[in-house]
Amino acid sequence: MGKLREQLQALGPGILIACAAIGGSHLVWSTRAGAEYGWALLGLILFANFLKFPFFYFGQHYTAVTGESLLSGYQRLGSFYLYAFIAINLFTGSINIAAVGMLTAALSLPFFGGLNLELTHLSILFFIVLSGTLFFGHYALLDRLSKGIILILSLCTLIAVLLAFSNANLNSVQVLSLATNEVPADPFTLASLAFIISLLGWMPAPIDLSTWSSLWMQSRQEQTGHRASPKEVAIDFSIGYGITTLLACLFLALGALTLYGTGAELAQSGIEFSAQLIELYTESIGAWTQPIIIVAAFSTMLSTTLTCLDGYPRSTATCTLLLQSKLSPEKEQSKKRYLFMLGFFTLSASTLLLFFVKNLMAL
């Protein structure tokens, strides 16, 4: 019982990795891969997840062995790496948060459409609510919310795929090895190269996510008072990464079973494609399934928005403290710096939405 209790205390950062990774890469890229090429890219998605496994795992393993964050390790190589990391974070973080926040808001319209808010204002409202959640709840609430969201997301996605399998029309789509008279589009052509590169880059997430998991491990240790062993970390990470990989395959299945072979012209932007997925799925299976696919899609993007709103500020704040030669800053100082960066990214993402909404909608 003692070992089980310690393992449960270590469980958390791996789930947060899953929450952060399962976003646009799954809802948009995995589903689009299935919609355009059927099951042809399933092996490539599995390969991409396998290829990036050691890079993501290293962040948590490094912290388990050394007790310090991966960013502290970067500092040992030179301050240049931290400055570069901050620059990338400030540029990409605001854009990514704005983009995933807007997609989350778009998917929430079936629930909150009665508020009669423009998409931009609804997105900003989400930022305020989620930032407030992190402001008052800190890591402890983030940890609990992530586990609840990932459970709901996994169940809804699995149910949706099972329903799609049971209702699949074998005259128009391929189901695993059951071939039809249709010849699937070849994804490995020069014309498909840009899509393949994007899929590999986003699947399951950018490599810099490993720095977030390292910091989440430290926060989990502060929360529970338990320093996870390398073995406990390996189990935690494997659970989270396994969920990430499984859901990537399930979203590809959704695309293959509901969109592939239908002749539907797929929308290019993430927002339009997500709406199209929900519409075509309910047309294929039945209107009664709409709540299931909406909850699956919405929880996918909600988890990503929540973790991005924590990960970018947390990692940027840590870098600034390290550059001030504060290897072990006081808890209160770390908290203040984190809250400042949380406010900064919330404000910058909201500003981008207000002035560049058309550009973001094209993503």
Residues 217, 71 contacting (CB under 8 angstroms): no
Residue showing tokens 């952060």? 20
pLDDT in tens, 255-290: 888 888 777 777 777 788 888 878 877 877 778 888
Q: Looking at the predicted structure, is the pLDDT value of residue 12 above 60?
A: yes
**Distance of alpha carbon 15 from its chain centroid, rounded?**
11
> Which tops the pLDDT comparison, 269 or 308?
308
As a whole number of angstroms, the distance between CA 222 and CA 219 comes to: 5
Mean pLDDT calculated for residue range 71-81: 91
Q: What is the mean pLDDT of the chain?
A: 85
Q: Which residues of 157-174 are buried (b: 16+ CB within 10 A; e: fewer)?
A: beebbebbeeebeeeebb
The string of pLDDT tens digits covering residues 114-169 is 677 888 999 999 999 999 999 998 888 898 999 999 999 899 889 988 888 887 65
Q: CATH number of the domain that 267 lies in? A: 1.10.4160.10
What's the CA gap between 287 and 84, in Å, rounded? 49
51 contacts 275 by C-beta, under 8 angstroms: no
Domain extent for 73: 2-361
Number of structural domains found in the chain = 1
The residue ranking higher by pLDDT, 325 or 15, is 15
pLDDT, tens digit (0-9, with 9 covering 90-100), for 93-107: 999 999 999 999 989
Give just the sign of the alpha carbon dihedral 102, 105, 109, 115.
negative
**pLDDT at residue number 262:** 76
pLDDT band at residue 170, thresholds of 50, 70 and 90? very low
